Amino acid sequence: MSENKNYILQSEQLAKRYENDRQHYFKLEEFIAISDYYVLINNYKNALEVNNTAQIFYPSSFELKTIKADLYIRNNEFEKAEKVIKNIEHNSDVITDVFVLRGEICIKKNQYKSAEKFFDKAIELSDDKDITIEMICDFLMIMHQISLAKKYLELAQKIIRDINPDLMYWLAKCYECELEYRKAANIYEKMTEINPFDENIWDELGDIYMLLSEYEKAIKAFDLRLAVSSENAQETLINKAECISVLGKNNEAIKIYNKILDFEKENIDALFGIAKCYEREKIYDIAEKLYLDIVSQNPDYVDAYYSLATIYSQRNEFKIAEQFMRKTLNDIEIIPAFLTQMGKILLQQNKIKEAEQTMEKFIHSDSCKYDYQAWLLYAEIIALDDIDKGIEILETKYNESFYSIAEVCYHLAYYHFLNNNLSQSVIYIERSLELDADMMKSFFELCPEAMLNEQIMNVYLSYKTKK
């Protein structure tokens, strides 16, 4: 991880030098580093310009040509990319790269099956499989093709003995994106065994334990991170305090937050943490005052608006809650939990059409792609008016991303039951039982009349007997 950071820093410095002095002599790898830097900041035009300059100095470099084709693809200039590829494909040294590039073009054109074929071939022919997989996954991650990236990273884990830590890190990130937190935690644990002095991985491990609600383990990970290095550790301390607070030790958590504030008076996250502690202690008046202080200091602090909306919702003051929630929704970045909360507040006020429109506007954003709670609410709102459409929406998402989420499965079983499609309902109940049988209770809460249904009860009881 730190090697990666160093590379980025060096690339940035080289890029600055390049911008100030175009006549400066650069080695081939330095040109490539500069180009990499521009790719990192999504400036493909500059990256291409660097590549052109580099080709003047190193006209026979196939590596530069491969990079050029890659840049054209990323910039959606497929014809130009094809031309470059045709120029280099006769060279057996770059045959692997050619397959990767062709796969990339297919991904850009949404031809996923063909892309997989090219990538598979590239890996098969490659002598440096980790480098090839890294190239493929770097592109797939940028293109948000998480499932496919995960497939190749899992393959890398199987076939490469000393796997590059970057690939392990990416795999963990893919698992996080697909809500497979346990698997992500396993990877981070392995990474801390390989390099126990990497503070970033301890932070990642602590964060993932938080997502798994394993707060004691998270605290341990954060403590080890602080033991490795106490530099730039405010965020770690804040996360640790948050875990302590969730475990109910709010006084202890407030002490940590105050310690942070002693060093950095303006640390608004620490102030927010203190407010959250009061909220958890149900001392709403103080929490409310602190949240209002936070938004007056920083009107963009959306978490504070969200918390204020939660407090007002609890007091059944939905109109004010809605006003605060509106400040958390913007076109640039949507936090799925905020969208869900907004939808619920609108529903509480029976503003069904408005709830539908708000959800519709934001639900298709990348950040909501894997948030099943937001999709469940969206489907619920749609189903109020048109149950078939609600089912269609949820079923599509289930097949795309939520195949392993029991709650989605139970909801589909419920909607099919309401829609008098018992056979389909039973299929989803069977799948849900496989995923998480304890959640059957939630299904019966949604659909108590299913307890009178012989077929459903037979499925449930035969599952219980088998277990």
Show the binding pattern over residues 372-401: x = contacts another protein (CB under 8 A), - = does not: -----------xx--x--------------
Q: Does 461 bind another protein (CB under 8 A)?
A: no
- Does position 448 bind another protein by CB under 8 A? yes
Give least dist CB 409 to another protein, A.
18
Q: Are 298 and 305 in contact (CB under 8 A)?
A: no
Single residue of 43, 258, 349, 365 touching another protein by CB under 8 A: 349
In the bound complex, what is the minimum distance in angstroms from residue 315's beta carbon to another protein?
Answer: 8
Whole-number Å distance between alpha carbons of 134 and 141:
10
Compare residues 258 and 419 and give the one whose CB is closer to another protein.
419
Least distance in angstroms from the C-beta of 383 to another protein: 7
252 closest CA partner among 219, 294, 301, 209? 219
Distance, CA of 114 to CA of 124 (rounded, Å): 15
Q: Give the one residue of 28, 159, 292, 451 binding another protein; rule: CB under 8 A.
A: 451
Instruction: Check if the beta carbon of residue 238 is closer than 8 Å to that of residue 272.
Output: no
Whether the Cβ atoms of residue 365 and residue 334 lie closer than 8 Å to each other: yes
Nearer to another protein, 9 or 457 (CB): 457
The residue within the footprint of another protein, chosen from 110, 316, 399, 465 (CB under 8 A), is: 316
Residue 159 touching another protein (CB under 8 A): no
Q: Which is nearer to another protein, 131 or 418 (CB)?
A: 418
Supply the DSSP symbol for 342: H
Residues 60-99 that bind another protein (CB under 8 A): none
Amino acid letter, 288: E
- Which of these, 451, 452, 453, 405, lies nearest to 431 by C-alpha position? 405
**Complex with another protein: residue 191 or 447, whichever CB lies closer:** 447
Which residue type, as a one-letter code, is found at position 362? F
- If binding is defined by CB under 8 A, does position 418 make contact with another protein? yes
CB 333 within 8 A of CB 140: no
Of the pair 40, 446, the CB lying nearest another protein is at 446
> For residues 187 and 217, is the Cβ–Cβ distance under 8 A?
no
Q: DSSP letters along 53-88, please?
A: HHHHH-TT-HHHHHHHHHHHHHTT-HHHHHHHHHHH
Interface mask toward another protein for 211-250; x: CB under 8 A: ----------------------------------------
- Judged by CB under 8 A, does residue 320 bind another protein? no
Quick check: 117 and 152 in contact, CB under 8 A?
Answer: no
Q: How many residues bind another protein (CB under 8 A)?
A: 14
Q: Identify the three-state secondary structure at position 420.
A: coil
Which of 293/354 has CB closer to another protein? Answer: 354
Q: Which stretch binds another protein (CB under 8 A): 141-149, 254-262, 349-357, 429-437?
A: 349-357
Cα 158 to the chain's mean position, in Å? 24
Is there binding between residue 326 and another protein (CB under 8 A)?
A: no
> What angle (nearest 5°) sits at the alpha carbon of residue 351, between those of residues 345 and 356?
85
Which window, 75-83, 253-261, 273-281, 446-454, contacts another protein (CB under 8 A)? Answer: 446-454
Closest approach, Cβ 460 to another protein, in A, equals 14
Q: Which is nearer to another protein, 39 or 450 (CB)?
A: 450
Check residue 323 for interaction with another protein (CB under 8 A). Answer: no
> Which range, of 20-28, 31-39, 65-73, 443-451, touches another protein by CB under 8 A?
443-451
- Given a contact cutoff of 8 angstroms between Cβ atoms, the answer to whether 281 and 300 are in contact is no
Q: What is the DSSP string of 247-294?
A: TT-HHHHHHHHHHHHHH-TT-HHHHHHHHHHHHHTT-HHHHHHHHHHH
Nearer to another protein, 102 or 344 (CB): 344
Residue 204's closest CA among 193, 189, 226? 189
CA geometry: angle 181, 182, 184, nearest 5 deg: 60
Q: Which of 46, 164, 348, 424 binds another protein (CB under 8 A)?
A: 348
Q: Identify the residue among 6, 289, 449, 457 touching another protein (CB under 8 A).
A: 449
> Nearest distance from residue 318's CB to another protein, in Å?
9
Phi, psi of 438 (to 5 degrees): -65, -25
What is the smallest separation between the CB atom of 306 and another protein, expressed in angstroms? 20
Nearest-approach distance from CB 449 to another protein, in angstroms: 4
Residue closer to another protein, measured from CB, 247 or 387: 387
Residue 147 to residue 145: CA distance in whole angstroms: 6
Which listed residue (113, 332, 452, 467) binds another protein by CB under 8 A?
452
Q: Residue numbers of the site for another protein (CB under 8 A)?
A: 316, 348-351, 383-384, 387, 418, 447-449, 451-452
